[in-house]
């Protein structure tokens, strides 16, 4: 399996797939890679790896516990990828009914331990990405497993997600890393809304600088802050000094998407 241009990441994906199959056996019906490794502009030092594991049925408690321990052991063996791998474990039923009902999903994601969450319409953008851009590592084409997401449904989800960012940016932490995430995420939302296409954060930033040239410096700063968060940390930085412009920019772009 050579799904990416990085031999060590390909080996890592093979190893992870093998570990999951040892625990789940035939319950694992599909394994899919999406995110920046697929869209392009993957930053080897800071980008995450995004994966969906499709299951024939929900995990039971024994399987959940085994996967939880496996993920702990896995990052011990691959320390450079600690807190940079997201795997979503969702049943085929959940992938077929997420538009009409919620289903529990097990997930490990950057910043969070292995845990349960609820999947519903709010995940429609994720499944659109897997449906249209996902790389099959195991199993059938993801379009067979996922209730189809139309372009119109995707764009509506982009609008809904953008509306939520008004509260997100107002009420959460003001770190440079978070500001970078907010700026680049809302750039990607605007690009998707205007062009109908999903691209990486870096590609969306380049597009947004042309669309909103008066904010080109802020967008460039967001790309720098994203790297600094990982490589240098934020100790001694007055993160609040840049927050007002960040909040202004996020709300301006939300207006462009939702009004």
Per-residue pLDDT of 139-161, as tens digits, reads: 999 999 999 999 999 999 999 99
* Beta-bridge partners for 109: 112
Measuring CA to CA, how many Å separate 44 from each of 20, 60, 111? 24, 34, 18
Instruction: Please state the domain extents for the chain.
Output: 7-148, 152-258
What pLDDT, on the 0 to 100 scale, is given for residue 231? 53
CB 63 within 8 A of CB 27: yes
Query: Mean pLDDT across the chain, nearest whole number?
Result: 93
What lies within 8 Å, CB to CB, of 182 at 6+ separation is 165, 168, 169, 246, 250
List pLDDT tens digits, range 248-257: 999 999 999 9
User: Rounded distance, CA 24 to CA 3, Å?
Assistant: 22
Residue 199: phi and psi, rounded to 5, are -130, 175
Beta strands 49-55; 85-91: pairing state: parallel
Asked if residue 104 lies in contact with residue 117, where contact means CB atoms within 8 angstroms, the answer is yes
pLDDT at 186: 97
CATH of 7-148, one of 3.90.120.10, 3.30.420.480, 3.30.460.10, 3.40.50.620: 3.30.460.10
Whether this model's pTM surpasses 0.85:
yes
H-run or E-run covering 91? strand 85-91
Q: How many CA atoms lie within 13 A of 136 on its CB side?
A: 13
**pLDDT surpasses 80 at 238:** no
Mean pLDDT of 97-113: 96
**Mean pLDDT value across residues 60-76:** 97
Question: What 3-state class would DSSP assign to 226?
Answer: helix
Residues 92 and 178: their CA atoms lie apart, in Å, by 33
Q: Is the pLDDT of residue 234 over 70?
A: no
pLDDT above 60 for 232: no
């Amino acid at each position: 399996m050579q799904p990416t241009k990085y031999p060590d990441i390909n080996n890592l994906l093979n190893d992870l797939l093998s570990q999951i199959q040892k625990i789940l056996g035939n319950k694992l019906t599909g394994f899919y890679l999406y995110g920046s490794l697929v869209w392009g502009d993957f930053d080897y030092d800071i980008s995450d790896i995004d994966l969906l594991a499709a299951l024939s049925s929900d995990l039971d408690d024994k399987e959940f516990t085994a996967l939880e321990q496996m993920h702990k052991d896995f990052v011990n063996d691959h320390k450079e990828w600690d807190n940079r791998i997201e795997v979503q474990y969702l049943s085929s039923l959940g992938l077929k009914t997420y538009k009409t009902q919620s289903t529990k999903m097990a997930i490990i994601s950057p910043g969070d331990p292995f845990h349960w969450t609820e999947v519903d319409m709010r995940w429609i953008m994720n499944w659109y990405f897997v449906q249209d851009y996902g790389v099959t590592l195991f199993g059938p084409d993801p379009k067979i497993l996922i209730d189809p997401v139309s372009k119109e449904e995707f764009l509506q989800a982009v609008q809904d997600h953008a509306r939520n960012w008004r509260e997100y940016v107002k009420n959460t932490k003001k770190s440079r890393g978070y500001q970078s995430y907010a700026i680049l995420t809302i750039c990607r939302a605007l690009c998707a809304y205007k062009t109908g296409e999903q691209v990486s954060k870096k590609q969306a930033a380049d597009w947004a600088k042309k669309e909103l040239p008066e904010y080109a410096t802020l967008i460039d700063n967001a790309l720098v802050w994203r790297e600094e968060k990982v490589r240098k940390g934020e100790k001694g930085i007055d993160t609040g000094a840049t927050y007002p412009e960040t909040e202004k920019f996020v709300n301006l772009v939300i207006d462009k998407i939702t009004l």
